[in-house]
Amino acid sequence: MSSTTPLANNPGYVLITGASSGIGAEIAREYSRRGRSLILTARRTDRLEALARELGVNAPCVVITSDLSQADAPRRLFAETQARGLHVDTLVNNAGYGVPGRYLSSDWRVHADFLQVMITAVGELTHLYLPAMEQAGRGRILNIASLAGLVPASAGHTMYGATKAWLIRFSECLALETAPRGVLVTALCPGFTYSEFHDVNGMREKISKMPKFLWLTSEQVARIGVDAVEAGKTRVITGAPNKLVAFLCKYLPDALARALVASKTKDFRDAE
């Protein structure tokens, strides 16, 4: 089955990467509430299956286990959905994590896997699923970026902000290319969000010291993101405090913005 299988006369599925927890799981719940059929993918099969049992009462919910740090994972995931006749008209590139510490505190293999998940897999999955969306004249691509991609860099988690900045620019370019063909693309830029993200990268203790008003729940972020892509917004920042931070970083002199970010991020970012 070719990558350009028409979607127009088939029920479209929402494919969500990194769907086993956090923002990804909440995006699945949000689309399920809207009656959409789902394809859930991540590394943890047990978590995916539990979520599928929860959401399967509303609409079809398919689980496909995949580790996007493996170079062939995007192609295998695409082949599996094609073989099952699951026509994807909405792609949510959500899978992601952080690598704490200095750049040289981790082996290159750790960074290479990180880049595979955060950039290469996103680009390849989009390249695989987009042709059918354009042929059908309808599609949605929601890329989960971060406020970190819009503010000056700081020490620690060296490539995280860089990959999110790439994702934002990729989404903006893609949106201009695909909108005339009926495909809407959105970069969602959350700030601090209650999820397992900070447990996975070992920063829970530090990050919990941040003021409560800066935080949103994963459910709030998911709803904002789904609403944004359905409305055709190219980029959306979650929460008034985060919008203010992005505004200040854009219009303050570069040196001052960098100094402010550096002074604040040392409170919650591991640079050792």
CA–CA separation, 145 and 246 (whole Å) = 14
Q: Which two tokens stand for residue 16?
A: 């969500």
Q: Which two tokens stand for residue 95?
A: 């899978």
CA–CA separation, 238 and 215 (whole Å) = 10
Cα distances (Å, whole numbers) of residue 231 to 26, 83, 167, 186, 223: 19, 31, 19, 9, 12
Q: Is 160 a catalytic residue?
A: yes
Q: Give the CA dihedral 130, 222, 18, 16, nearest 10 degrees.
A: -30
Which of 13, 31, 129, 160 is catalytic? The answer is: 160
Through-space distance between the first and last CA atoms of the chain, rounded to whole angstroms: 49
> Which residues are known to be catalytic?
160
